[in-house]
Structure 1
Amino acid sequence: MELKQLQEHWDNFPEISMEERPILSSDLEKIVVKNPLSDAFYLRRKLLTRIIVFSVLWIVSAIQLRSQWILDGPDISELVALFGLLSYGLYFHIRLLFFADYPTLLSLPLMGFLGKLETVLDKYILSFKFVSGLAGFYVLALIQLLLFRSNKGAFETLSHNDWYKWLILIFISVSFDILLLHTIIPKYRKLLAGVRKYKDGIQGGPK
């Protein structure tokens, strides 16, 4: 449905940017004033939300890592890995947001517009790996907190056994990744497949 709407917006203007069109009809004026991309395609808010969340978690992680480093705590390797994941995840999302460049996205020619939309969707799907990885760290932390309050012996055993902690962390991350693959990600894969099909249809059409 979203692709059909995009096709209607770009109909009769296959390779001309919006600035190059000599006359704007009432429909095109609405497109200029109001963003025609549906929420499914327009990922700016989602990316900004993730950047904010990642930034907050990055600051908290940096404080915890510094504290553990000074005290030579048992969770240094875990916190270093979490800090590294948050750092790269934050960089990844900021770079993707700048690449998408939503303020100028609609000024691109149709093929350039579809190509950038395809890349953004593809990278956004990949970004769920960061969510799965973070889920592993924070669910493990929640498990440790529950054990600390309910079973001190089990908490001490888990806290001083890196092998069990990393095994649980990996299991949670993989499980969460599988959950996302069957719930949220299919929606974006369907959109990505639609964009590619539409793009290939234009490229394969009459020259």
Structure 2
Amino acid sequence: MELKKLLQQWNSFPEVSMEERPVLSSDLEKIVVKNPLSDAFYLRKKLVLRIAVISVLWLINSWQFRHEWITQGNELYPQGALFVLLAYSLYFHVRLLFFADYPTLLALPLINFLNKLETILDKYILSFKFVSALAGFYLLFGVEKLLARASAGAYETLSRNDWYKWLILIFLSISVDILLLNTIIPRYRKLMATVKKYRDGIHSKAQNK
């Protein structure tokens, strides 16, 4: 429904070819600043929130990783791997936010707009892989804290056995990934399929003409 409203706005312009039809006028420029896209397509707030959370987690992890490095603790390798994952996740989300360039997104011709919107949704779906991996690490740390309270012997065994620790980490990450694949991600895949359908429909009409 959101795309239909956007197409109606485009169709309100004078009769020119689809590729030549301007997307922004002086009036629409004001609308862009106020975010004419629906929340389903407008991912800027979600990206900014993720960047803020990942930044805080990265700062905390930097201190923990440094502590483990100095003391040669049992959590050195998990904290080191988490440090790298957080850093790359932060880079990925910042790069996606700059690529989306929401203030000027509607300045693109219709086909380019739909192509970019599809790419943004595709990259956002991919970003859930980072969420799953990060969740696996923090769930593992949670399991270790629970074991430390419930059974000191079990905690010592787990903390000194990297093989069991990485197996649990992989299991938790995959479990979260499966959960996201069956709950949140289908909605974004449906949106991406809708964008692709509209774009392909426009291409078909252009070829028929």
Give the TM-score, by structure 2 length: 0.91
Aligned to 1:10: 10
Aligned to 1:40: 40
Aligned to 2:176: 176
Aligned to 2:135: 135
Q: What is the Cα deviation at residue 8 of structure 1? A: 1.5
Note the aligned Cα RMSD (angstroms): 1.7
CA deviation profile, 1:112-147 (whole Å, cap 9, x unmatched): 111111100000000000000011000000010011
> Does the 8 A contact of 2:33 with 2:103 survive in 1?
no
Matched ranges for 1:37-186 at <5 A: 37-186=37-186
Give the TM-score, by structure 1 length: 0.92
CA distance in structure 2 between the aligned counterparts of 1:100 and 1:152, rounded to whole angstroms: 49
Gapped regions of structure 2 (runs ≥ 5): none
Aligned to 2:195: 195
Q: Secondary structure at the match of 1:106?
A: helix
* Corresponding letter in the other structure for 1:154: A
Q: 1:183 to 1:36 in 2, by over 3 A?
A: same
* Corresponding letter in the other structure for 1:125: I
Q: Secondary structure at the match of 2:205?
A: coil
Q: What is the Cα deviation at residue 34 of structure 1? A: 3.7
Q: 1:11 to 1:76 in 2, by over 3 A?
A: same
* Corresponding letter in the other structure for 1:155: Y
Identity of aligned residues (%): 65
CA deviation profile, 1:48-74 (whole Å, cap 9, x unmatched): 000000000000111001000000111
Q: Secondary structure at the match of 2:55?
A: helix
Q: What is the Cα deviation at residue 33 of structure 1? A: 6.1
Gapped regions of structure 1 (runs ≥ 5): none
CA deviation profile, 1:170-201 (whole Å, cap 9, x unmatched): 00000100000000000000000000010011
CA distance in structure 2 between the aligned counterparts of 1:9 and 1:68, rounded to whole angstroms: 57
CA deviation profile, 1:50-99 (whole Å, cap 9, x unmatched): 00000000001110010000001111111111011100000000000000
Q: 1:18 to 1:6 in 2, by over 3 A?
A: closer
* Corresponding letter in the other structure for 1:141: F
Q: What is the Cα deviation at residue 159 of structure 1? A: 0.3
* Corresponding letter in the other structure for 2:10: W
Q: 1:175 to 1:32 in 2, by over 3 A?
A: closer
> Aligned pairs, how many?
202
> Segments of 4+ in structure 1 off by > 6 A?
none
Q: What is the Cα deviation at residue 12 of structure 1? A: 4.9
Q: 1:84 to 1:8 in 2, by over 3 A?
A: same
CA distance in structure 2 between the aligned counterparts of 1:33 and 1:44, rounded to whole angstroms: 13
Q: What is the Cα deviation at residue 149 of structure 1? A: 1.1
